[in-house]
Structure 1
Amino acid sequence: MSGSMAGSLISGVIADRFGRRLVLVASVVCHAICGFCLLLVDSFLALVAVRFLVALFGLAIFMTGCTLAMEIVGESKRSFAGMLLMYGWVIGMLFVSAVAYFARDWRVLQLILSSPTLLLISYYWILPESPRWLLDKQRYTEASKVLKKIAEVNKASEVDDKMLVALCEQSAEEGKTNVQEENFGLLLKSRTMVIRLAILCVNWCVCTMVYYGLTLNVGAIIEGDLYVNFFIMSVMELFAYALCTVTLDKLGRKKVYCTCLIVSGLSCLGTMIPILVDSSKWPNHHQSVPDLRHTSGIMVPYSFPFN
């Protein structure tokens, strides 16, 4: 989590300066190298250090990829593009649980999970740079090529060179009039934006705490096989993304967001009702948590073969 925090703080700044595609591919390369380095660690401190870097570059991949996805599509498609990213997230969770079920040795599992990252290096040749970033950096020739390619793929015959030139000229004029660069300090000057930012930060903190609390504690809250339970929870998350895909544009962001918060909060509180009614029928915490210290799965922190 510390690595994820570091990645979220620096990836956006670097991507704004050097471009989305370059930072994305560089993060992929570093993430792959760190993933394979985990196979060579021989101490707990080395494990923690490399895991920190894995999380840092992994978050950089997600943040930069999300930004690129938002900027390369039109405004009407942004929510759909964002949800497609989350489908990739949950497919990865399903893949991890399935592979971990059969590959119980953590080094073998790490090798299997790190190998597909090498395929993502091809993004440098497959993905275009963000046209919005190119226009912002006044790299109009490159932006025109990307936009023209997008128009060709979308079969937008009405888009021609004159239209692209006019778009670049308009962007240049807007850049001259807007001489004040945007920064985080400007955000703090607005009382309304400060309040909204504070609410979202607290809200995101709570959501993350509950999400990872439930996900990482799946072996304790649900009786049965740890890997099967994690797989089932991943499937439920897949349904959640499908629900968001259908409702976000129809009902709006705020209604869906608030409804999900209220329903999930009440559901978490509701789990106490059966225990309060008759606690004798429910196992206590020590009975429900399986002893995993003698297993060899990477999902178990006690399994590493060193002191």
Structure 2
Amino acid sequence: MKLDDVLTHIGGYGRFQILIFVLIGLINLRSSGYLLGIVFIGYKPDHHCTLPTNATLNESVPLELDNEGNWQLSQCKMYAVSGSNKTITCTDGWDYATEKGEKTIVTEWDLVCGQDWLVDMSTTIHMAGIMCGSLFITPLSDRVGRKHVLLACLWIQTALAFGLAFTTSYLQFVILRFFIGALNRGIAVISYVMMTEVFPPSHRTLPGIVQQVFWAAGLMGLAFIAWLVKDWRHLSLVISLPTVLMVSYYWLLPESIRWLIAKGKIKEAEAILQKAARINKASLPDNCLSSEEMDMMMNQNIKRADNPSTQEMLQEEETVEEAQHVTRLTYDKAENIAGEMNIENSSVTPSNECSAENNDQNDEHCKTKHGFFELLDMFKICCIPKMAFYTITVCYLWMVNSLAYYGLTLGSGTLHGDRYINFFLSGAVELPAYFIGSFLLQRFGRRKPICMFQMLCGLSNIMLVFIPKETDSGVNLLPLIITISLLGKFGITASFSSIYLYSAEIFPTVFRNSAFGFAAFWDTVGGMAAPFVIYSSKAMLELPRTVFGGLTIVSGLLTLILPETHNRPVPETVEDLEKWNTQLISKKKPRV
């Protein structure tokens, strides 16, 4: 019996699958704190130079215009001599306007004035760690096992996160942040794969969407925890505490069944399936899996590939679900989506030579294909004009979506109003974005909804450039500003979750892994650039909004030039892609 048939037999949404789904969801929930906790850990409160003994503010600190044109106390200068007009940089440190008990890395290490860029640099270094985690940690899970690598990453990350709370310098802080980011990426990808693997293909759409609720809940919970815990060291400890409870995952979380089968450990896989059947109150024969039976099923699937209705059903059911999960955290996950598309569509595309399972079985050809020859594939793509154009355009989409998503999320704490409420709302608005985005992709195709979402984000940001905080008559426009900002966040969240699916569908099988992985690489580039785009507001207040708005509008328009992929078989060759136009294909086909 084929594994997917076994999973369907014991119950597509059985108790076993729900248990794994919740366990993985809790991992996803905690990951947002590691990535975006810097919004509160690195918060910069108002400040001014520490006053000399027996001096007053008016005597010691000059007034200056801020970037909004308002007079305020200088944050980086003081009078050289009381009563004179000559100013100097702060000589005795700074005084910060903090709440009771509030401490951040800014107030502790004086990361202000000439060193204020270091906070944004810490986020960029964290993103660099994410990139490295994609390259070194996720491939390890294919060799050692999903569960063992996942648990090792969780426990090591917990130790590093605890260590973060006891760092005594900025250098120690960013080094630990780098490794926490690398581990966070490995955790995100491996856990996602383990979650999808326990569901049969026809039951993966809903879990893929609902799994995002945990990420959004993590953002909202982070805002609440940061509101309660003002000290950044204590906040770091609280963020890492949930992972301590995940020691129980050693007993609760089973090894990946597909990985065990790929490694030839059929008996171990059958033991897990028997346990799953008992939990789901179903029954299975003792030898529900065997290599002979699986070979027979695979041969039957190859024969079924000649049936056009089977092709359409598999492409519609299996391709869509694997790309719904947005983990903000993305280059490696993207490669997994592309790889899983190749695996799961193998019954439709038997010419595809390399699958993840073949890799796990140490197929030398596949190892070579996923190594040096993938680099050669990129050169081949550049020699094909249409493929080169599609690849460059998709790379731009990934970079801009990542730049805008992380930029708007990290910048939510700098919006006017309460930073905790703004960050909470920024997470809450993601909930409808996932579901509405998924519905529109199925109803209207890929290109038009993605274009609409990006245009919504772009126009919202451009509008905010021209809206003042209040009218000339004194009417407060802050609620309007926050609402429009949330509309922009809604748009980029829906778009970001959609480009996974669209990118995986547009590339032909012969280049999919190479092109998809290369395009997804630019996601991390956008994430690394986002903190410094926000930092540019110090020179020009509305520059970040202008950058986010302008780039996403261009990205939305470029989407319309790309071909529509909805209701089309995944292209096998470049020739298949050349035949496409940009129109939506009707799902109903005439019977012959």
TM-score class, shorter: 0.7 to 0.9
Q: How far apart are the structure 1 equivalents of 2:254 and 2:293?
A: 18
Quick check: which has more Rg, 1 or 2?
A: 2
Query: Is the contact between residue 270 and residue 288 of structure 2 (CA under 8 Å) also seen in structure 1?
Result: no
Q: Which moved more, 1:121-130 or 1:146-155?
A: 146-155
Partner of 2:143: 17
Partner of 1:237: 430
Q: How far apart are the structure 2 equivalents of 1:266 and 1:14?
A: 40
Which of 435, 449, 454 does residue 264 from structure 1 map onto? 454
Determine which structure has the larger helix proportion and give its number.
1
Is 2:419 the partner of 1:226?
yes
Alignment of 1:35-114 (within 5 A): 35-114=161-240
Deviations 1:197-255 (A, max 9, x none): 655443222211110110111133x320111100011100122223356566x549xx3
Q: How far apart are the structure 2 equivalents of 1:37 and 1:278?
A: 43
Which amino acid is 1:262 matched to?
Answer: M
Give the 3 Å change call, closer, same or farther, for CA 226–78 of structure 1 in structure 2. same
Query: Is the contact between residue 79 and residue 245 of structure 1 (CA under 8 Å) also seen in structure 2?
Result: no
Q: How far apart are the structure 1 equivalents of 2:458 and 2:156?
A: 38
Q: CA deviation at 1:257?
A: 6.9
Give the 3 Å change call, closer, same or farther, for CA 278–95 of structure 1 in structure 2. closer
Query: Is the contact between residue 165 and residue 233 of structure 2 (CA under 8 Å) also seen in structure 1?
Result: yes
Q: How far apart are the structure 2 equivalents of 1:198 and 1:12?
A: 25
Which amino acid is 1:238 matched to?
Answer: L
Which amino acid is 2:397 matched to?
Answer: N
Q: CA deviation at 1:274?
A: 6.5
Query: Is the contact between residue 270 and residue 287 of structure 2 (CA under 8 Å) also seen in structure 1?
Result: no
Give the 3 Å change call, closer, same or farther, for CA 213–277 of structure 1 in structure 2. closer
Query: Is the contact between residue 440 and residue 449 of structure 2 (CA under 8 Å) also seen in structure 1?
Result: no
Query: Is the contact between residue 140 and residue 168 of structure 1 (CA under 8 Å) also seen in structure 2?
Result: no
Q: How far apart are the structure 1 equivalents of 2:461 and 2:245?
A: 43
Q: Which runs of 5+ in 1 are unaligned?
A: 290-307
Query: Is the contact between residue 215 and residue 233 of structure 1 (CA under 8 Å) also seen in structure 2?
Result: yes
Alignment of 1:204-215 (within 5 A): 204-215=398-409
Alignment of 1:184-203 (within 5 A): 184-185=370-371, 187=374, 189=377, 191=381, 199-203=393-397
Q: How far apart are the structure 1 equivalents of 2:263 and 2:387?
A: 28
Q: CA deviation at 1:280?
A: 8.6
Q: CA deviation at 1:273?
A: 4.0
- Tell me how many residue pairs correspond in the alignment: 281
Q: Which moved more, 1:72-81 or 1:223-232?
A: 72-81
Partner of 2:410: 216
Partner of 1:292: none
Deviations 1:60-109 (A, max 9, x none): 11111011112222112233333343222111111110010121111111
Q: CA deviation at 1:121?
A: 2.3
- TM-score by length of structure 1 reads 0.78
Partner of 2:289: 164
Runs of 4+ with deviation above 6 angstroms: 171-176, 277-280
Q: Percent identity?
A: 31
Q: Which runs of 5+ in 2 are unaligned?
A: 1-126, 300-356, 472-476, 479-536, 542-592
Q: Which moved more, 1:98-107 or 1:233-242?
A: 233-242
Partner of 1:8: 134
Q: How far apart are the structure 1 equivalents of 2:434 and 2:141?
A: 27
Q: How far apart are the structure 1 equivalents of 2:166 and 2:468?
A: 50
Q: How far apart are the structure 2 equivalents of 1:214 and 1:108?
A: 26
Query: Is the contact between residue 32 and residue 118 of structure 1 (CA under 8 Å) also seen in structure 2?
Result: yes
Q: How far apart are the structure 1 equivalents of 2:257 and 2:430?
A: 32
Query: Is the contact between residue 7 and residue 57 of structure 1 (CA under 8 Å) also seen in structure 2?
Result: yes
Give the 3 Å change call, closer, same or farther, for CA 179–278 of structure 1 in structure 2. closer
